[in-house]
Structure 1
Amino acid sequence: MVKCEKSSLKMSLRRPRAIALNPMEGWMFWTDWGSDPKIERSGMDGSHRQTIVSYDVKWPNGLTLDLVKKKVYWVDAEVKYDIRLRLQRQQPQGYTVIARLARHPFSITTFEDWVYWTDWDKAAVFKANKFTGKDVQAVTATEMIQNPMVIHVYHPYRQPDGENNCQAVNGHCSHLCLPAPPDKHSLS
């Protein structure tokens, strides 16, 4: 499904930090540090905006999606030592802490069985098993000269094949074609 009209999303964000997209299902996720910190999502067309996490979150720095497993992962620089994930099909309050060794996490990504994050306190990149939270290990030398910033993994496994409804004749849109979530607006 696609939408052609202007986005109806009125941001009203205070301090947005991270963004992640699920173009196959038309969803956009983001974090906000503002006075009411939260993690939100909406359709990429701006429809169906909702807060998915608003409790026990202070400085949600990094955000990534596991499109294959349908999970949202985030790191919080103020709620120390946590990397959290949320099963997209669960209620918003359902999340799991998978690693407790991050000191000042900044960015996060996943690949295969691992979750990777940058840590400003230790000035390094780390990884842990994304299913158990165990096997935490440094991927780079600790105490690098500069703090590592954003981390991404680019690989076909991270972006499964899917139908691009905007590809043929720009989705029959006159301007910008944006993927939209299903009208049922489930979490998947």
Structure 2
Amino acid sequence: MHFGISANDRDDDDIAEFRKCIRVLADKVSFLSRHREELHEKYSRTEAANEQLRKELEEKIDQVKTYYNKHQLEKQANKEKICFGCLEVHEIAAFVLTSAGYYEAITRNCSNYYLSDESVALFAEHVPSRPNYIVGQIVHIERQIVKAAPPRPEHVRAEKFTTPDKGTDWLTLNSGSTPNPYGLPVGCEYFLVTVAMLPDTTIHSSSPS
């Protein structure tokens, strides 16, 4: 005896099939979500590792540059008998460019010896960029004492003078004393050293890349 399928039975089958599809879809979404979290975690670890490697590489490059500069100075010191003790006129001295942008003498027992601006300008004329170090013969040493900076005036005093050729009034500003360029404490003694270029001087303006 044959019995037909009722509408309710078909609806129940459709609902069951729909629920089955929903479960499959939910499983897929859950899998993709877990997979995405795993990928994100792996990516974060990879980025952290790459950043650490980048920092280590930069440190190694800085070390190589430092060793290279020291090696060049040692070679030049052996050749030209550079003085690393108490600096005096006629001695040959070496000055290294600091991170602050000025040149400080390399000495064993003395400190606060800096290359004068005139000497820096002299060597700068012979290279396209600032050299890492400068070697020259001392021609003058000027002793200085760091003084306290005077209080800043509320109004800068202006002075007028007349040029003899054109008779024009020019305005000049009296800005006071020069600030301490080397970051030394007040009362500290330091020396400005003027040097002359040596014959056949080789100036290294950059380290190997």
Give 1 or 2: higher helix fraction: 2
- TM-score normalised over the length of structure 1: 0.24
Give 1 or 2: higher strand fraction: 1
